[in-house]
Structure 1
Amino acid sequence: MRKIKHLSFVSCVVLIFLSACGSSENTTIKVGEVTRSLFYAPQYVAIEKGFFEEEGLDVELQTTWGGDKTMTALLSDGVDVALVGSETSIYVYAQDSNDFAVNFAQLTQTDGTFLVAKEPHPNFEWEDLAGTNFLGQRKGGMPQMVGEYVLKQHGINPQNDLSLHQNIEFANIPGAFLSGDYEYVQLFEPTASVFEKEGNGHVVASFGEESGHVPYTVFMSKQSYLEANKENIEKFTSAIYKAQQWVQETDSAEIAETIQGYFEDVDLDILTSSIERYKSQGSFATDPILDEEEWNNLKAIMEEAGELPEGNISYDELVNTEIAEDVINN
């Protein structure tokens, strides 16, 4: 017994020594997410399952509420990494920024919004939107651009064929839909399912199923930060990849239980059904690589919306796939 106690004491001394030498200290990375959404489930899984910690990282997550605010935080060094639509990196690049944002890890690969109607429409057709009062998303943002793209694919001109409203702040859209006379709205999960459960709306279609693969939400950093912190960004991407694989292999109920703390006001059954809805339509990227076909699809959507800046929007400059490829291969 005395021998065991002695070994325990020695182990404690070794642990204290290692701690004092700094070998157990993690590197902090500040992340700004454009909104809080179940759409970003793999990110929360990476935190809760300890995948970042396994890589020697501490992630400080803050919600920055909107693409413009998120990019302002990134460019002003308020955050090190931004989780936001990749269209924002194109807008910054087009302004001839000396230190533009580079996309290095994709998290979602479809649009994440659903078309919600105030009244039931069991036999809904996209053409039913003509002449209606439609509450859209912010002009120039991915939800609105994809929404317009899908409508046009179904022969509906958003500016001429319906009454389109885009003057509501992102965070206030659900409340505005409830209190206003809007007939349709684009909503993310779990808000769409909450509306259904409470009888305040009915999900009639998915924009994600209609639009195909796009780099909808991507982790990006300033060029200078990537160059100075490549090893840490590789570790960050590795943690995200582990989470992506775990989400693919795990049932929706377990995922919901794992990340429930990020959505304390939402019932577990709603979280589960919302995650399943995203999984079933392939919204969560299975790896962090943003390929050129997805990038070109994004540019086509932006061009259709009249939001693609002139000039060469270079995939090679704005997208770094080497980090993700190294993570996957190793």
Structure 2
Amino acid sequence: MRKMTIFTLFAFLFLLLLSACSSSEATKINLAEVTRSLFYAPQYVALEQGYFKEEGLEVELQTTWGGDTTMTALLSGGADIALVGSETSIYVYAQDSKDYAINFAQLTQTDGTFLVAKDPDSNFSWENVVGSNFLGQRIGGMPQMVGEYVLKQHGIDPHADLELTQNIDFANIPGAFASGDYEYVQLFEPTASVLEQAGQGHIVASFGEESGTVPYTVFMAKQSFLDDNPETITKFTRAIYKAQQWVTENSAEEIAKVIEPYFEDTDLEILASSIERYKNQGSFATDPILDEAEWNNLKGIMDEAGELPADVPYEDLVNTTFAEDVISN
């Protein structure tokens, strides 16, 4: 009888151990980012600081290099969640997709590009670009649309008042500017600062400061994934919110140290100064909520560029339920 009692006890403990292991098993998330960018610092903070792990999530990050390939990965099931410009969700919606890509957590809230001049210009004004040889971003992407929007805000027609080049791949733009006869280029950090440090360019203006608040980069998932995995989306959003708070509360130097593994080819000093520039202009969203005013600003910029395929209602492609729940709790 005593042997049976001991056997029963061991069996119970074994089952309890199995149950504990099963309950602690992490939920795997395939996350696709549109490019590797210092602009996405809070995402890397969430990974490096263990915020996803705290939520029981195992996040596998892949860089899919471009809006089209990122959305293809998301819509085909190659990714569960995508970090990409929210304009891509509008493009998908306009194609009468049966399973929309829904924006559920915002990461950046301004444009992240800077105007870099070939020569120093301490007295820069936007009128200086008139008649120049200008190297822009690809047609249909947010950098290009914001770039044209800002120029128009200053009374400059980007297609009539300057020589605008838009046919160079994103990865090759810095090299083309450095080696070519372009006078101005639109670049993200830390590339802009790297060129400046090398004496190949000089940052003279910020497109982010000029264009206002906009849902520039957002985490999105298919509606079906949100419906089937609400708890997972809540946990993911909570991890991002923790990272956003950490980025807000810590110095650019501390942030740079944490995310340095994702930018091994860039000096820590350049990382810190670039992050400081983004922090100063409020590029990093302080919470994951994408509000309607930002959405309308996005549509206005797209419309101005002639790239708005449909006037998509805010409530159709934005779900703030998860973000609001995370913040309130």
Length-normalised TM-score, structure 2: 0.94
Q: Could you say which residue in structure 1 is the equivalent of 2:193?
A: 193
The secondary structure found in structure 1 opposite 2:23 is coil
Amino acid of the structure 1 residue aligned with 2:285: A
Q: Could you say which residue in structure 2 is the equivalent of 1:318?
A: 317
CA spacing shift, 1:300–1:24, aligned 2, 3 Å: same
Query: 1:28-62 deviations in whole A, cap 9, x for unaligned?
Result: 11111111111000000000000000000011101
Q: Could you say which residue in structure 2 is the equivalent of 1:267?
A: 267
Query: 1:109-160 deviations in whole A, cap 9, x for unaligned?
Result: 0000000111111111100000011111111110000000000000100000
1:250 and 2:250 equivalent?
yes
Distance 1:245 1:14 in 2: 41
Query: 1:224-251 deviations in whole A, cap 9, x for unaligned?
Result: 1111111101100000000000000001
Deviation, 1:20, is 6.6
Distance 1:154 1:43 in 2: 34
* Bigger Cα displacement from structure 2, 169-178 vs 286-295: 169-178
Query: 1:162-215 deviations in whole A, cap 9, x for unaligned?
Result: 011110111111111122211111111111111111111100000000000000
> Does structure 2 retain, via aligned residues, the 8 Å contact 1:109–1:213?
yes
Deviation, 1:14, is 8.4
Q: Could you say which residue in structure 2 is the equivalent of 1:211?
A: 211
Deviation, 1:18, is 5.1
Distance 1:61 1:166 in 2: 29
Distance 1:236 1:101 in 2: 16
The secondary structure found in structure 2 opposite 1:286 is coil
Amino acid of the structure 2 residue aligned with 1:327: V
Deviation, 1:317, is 1.0
Amino acid of the structure 2 residue aligned with 1:140: G
> Does structure 2 retain, via aligned residues, the 8 Å contact 1:134–1:185?
yes
The secondary structure found in structure 2 opposite 1:303 is helix
Q: Could you say which residue in structure 1 is the equivalent of 2:327?
A: 328
1:90 and 2:94 equivalent?
no
Deviation, 1:79, is 0.6
Distance 2:96 2:252 in 1: 43
Amino acid of the structure 1 residue aligned with 2:208: G
Amino acid of the structure 2 residue aligned with 1:328: I
Deviation, 1:24, is 2.2
CA spacing shift, 1:15–1:253, aligned 2, 3 Å: farther
Structure 2 unaligned spans of 5+: 1-9
Distance 1:184 1:132 in 2: 7
Q: Could you say which residue in structure 2 is the equivalent of 1:278?
A: 278
Q: Could you say which residue in structure 2 is the equivalent of 1:3?
A: none
CA spacing shift, 1:25–1:303, aligned 2, 3 Å: same
Distance 1:173 1:27 in 2: 38
CA spacing shift, 1:290–1:123, aligned 2, 3 Å: same
Query: 1:12-32 deviations in whole A, cap 9, x for unaligned?
Result: x88992577412210111111
Distance 1:324 1:37 in 2: 23
Distance 2:218 2:15 in 1: 38
Deviation, 1:327, is 0.6
**Aligned Cα root-mean-square deviation (Å):** 1.6
Aligned length: 318
Distance 2:41 2:14 in 1: 38
Amino acid of the structure 1 residue aligned with 2:322: I
Query: 1:63-88 deviations in whole A, cap 9, x for unaligned?
Result: 11111111111111111111000000
The secondary structure found in structure 1 opposite 2:186 is strand
**1:225-236 mapped onto 2 (5 Å cutoff):** 225-236=225-236
Distance 1:152 1:281 in 2: 21
The secondary structure found in structure 2 opposite 1:164 is strand
Distance 1:168 1:14 in 2: 61
Distance 2:297 2:111 in 1: 12
Identity of aligned residues (%): 75
The secondary structure found in structure 2 opposite 1:243 is helix
**1:18-167 mapped onto 2 (5 Å cutoff):** 21-167=21-167
Amino acid of the structure 1 residue aligned with 2:159: Q
CA spacing shift, 1:14–1:273, aligned 2, 3 Å: farther
Q: Could you say which residue in structure 2 is the equivalent of 1:308?
A: 308
